[in-house]
Amino acid sequence: MKTKKFSKKPTDFFSSKTDPVIVYPNKNLGNLNLDTLLEVRKKIKKIKEIVIPPRDAKCFEVKFGQFFRIESFEGPQVGDLNIFKSENLKEKFFSGKSRAFYGTHLSTGDKLFSNLPYLRSLATITWDTLDWYGYDSDGGSVHDVIGTRCDPYTEKLINKKDYHYCCHSNLTRALIREKKINPKEAEFLVHDVLNVFMCTGFTNNTKQYFMKASPVRPGDYLEFFAETDLLGVLSTCPGGDCSSTHSSDEAKCYPLKVSIWSCDEKNLTGISPSSITYYDNSHGLS
């Protein structure tokens, strides 16, 4: 945590100090379609709803050109989202690279990229009713890509307890039910999440991951445009609004709703399904 000081500072340290440089400038990633999508979303029609009970997870499918929303409708609740390319579950959301592109928390206009060796945009965030929150005085914000997902292994490691309704477990069970695959295969497919509605950050002194009460309320939602055919899996976190605890039955939890929305295809003129970032690795990896 960089809090122990066993080594000595070089006497010439300040002479070699430089200004920060953004590693992955995102201006070339392109939000060229955002203005169009912001217009299209005004005329979309709801075609399906899925309700995810507290401490559970469900799968949902979204086709290219459709929108989907994750919605709060009963009380403050955080959700953990996994996204896959529907016909290839090996291609899935890459939270680390999305974080490197856009920062620790995502909002309108940001894209959710898939893992290597694909690296395509799976979805674009097209509306965020919590964008007013920004960053608070603790450095906290909502919809993070810094937390991994609560899981039973970490709970066992830290608290020596068995808990079966962590988001990792919920997401795994949902995949098993939906795809009829064995538990071990499903568990390897579950990946680091977009923590929808969760309010998090890094502490100023030790830079440790923290959570605080989510500002989400009934009526809030995070909306996405599917840039290819997707399989989504959403878990309602056992921490509820994550104001004090997670991975337990103590927190008050509420259901979340996923809604799928369609639009007239003629309004998507000029918008095509996203494609993978092609790279010929026959030389670099041979």
pLDDT digits (tens, 9 = 90+) for 99-154: 999 999 999 999 999 999 999 999 999 999 999 999 999 999 999 999 999 999 99
Q: Would you tell me how many other CB atoms lie within 10 Å of the CB of residue 252?
A: 12
Backbone angles phi, psi at 64, to 5 degrees: -55, 135
Q: Of 51, 208, 80, 189, which is closest to residue 139 (Cα–Cα)?
A: 208
pTM of this prediction?
0.95
In degrees and rounded to multiples of 5, residue 99 shows phi and psi of -65, -40
Check whether the bond before 53 is cis (ω within 30° of 0). no
Distance from C-alpha of 278 to C-alpha of 87, rounded to nearest angstrom: 19
Angle, helices 152-159/167-179, rounded to nearest 10 degrees: 150
Which of 192, 183, 274 shows the shortest CA–CA distance to 230? 274
Radius of gyration of the chain (CA): 20
- pLDDT score of 88 more than 80: yes
Which 3 state secondary structure label does DSSP give 91?
A: strand
Residue 282: pLDDT band with limits 50, 70, 90: confident
Q: Are residues 143 and 198 in contact, defined by beta-carbon separation less than 8 angstroms? A: yes
- Mean pLDDT for 218-235 is 98
Answer whether residue 14 shows pLDDT above 80: no
pLDDT at 247: 87
| pLDDT at residue 283, as a whole number | 67
